[in-house]
Amino acid sequence: MALCAIDLNSLLSYMVFGENTMNGNNMLEGRTGPVTQSRDAIKTLLAYVGRSADPMPSDVTLDNGRMVLVLSNKKDAYYTVTSAKCSCPAAAYHRGPCKHQRKYFPQAEAKKPVANDPVKPTGKWPGGMNGPVEA
């Protein structure tokens, strides 16, 4: 199939989620997870959308900001990042969002409730001392 005969959504679905997804469905819903992309795949994508691939960008935003392709530190691959998942190794081994998700999809920080009773005692011993001291 010629590259120009494929619509952009199908091309992105193929590149991001593998060869068995050329059905034109939304690439972010109903999938098991994102797939890390090679530099060559990103060069092909950039050529298709008419962006320059020289120098290679550090990130490529797709689908109106719902997905970002982020260049790895070794500069050999691009991680696929969404607000829910990331294809980087850290996302597979750690709980919670990885550094790519925190950078490109910041979440509101949950504030810790302030306790009315502090853990540290506020009372003093007679004479303004903090406790018995042996001389």
Give pLDDT tens digits for 64-102. 888 999 999 999 999 999 988 899 998 888 888 899 999
* Structural domains in the chain (count): 1
Structural domain includes residue 64 = yes
Structural domain includes residue 82 = yes
Structural domain includes residue 125 = no
- 0.85 surpassed by pTM: no
- What band does 62 get if pLDDT is binned at 50, 70 and 90? confident
Structural domain includes residue 36 = yes
Mean pLDDT over the full length of the chain: 74
Structural domain includes residue 131 = no
Structural domain includes residue 123 = no
Structural domain includes residue 70 = yes
Q: Which pair of tokens denotes residue 109?
A: 């920080």
Domain that holds residue 88: 3-104
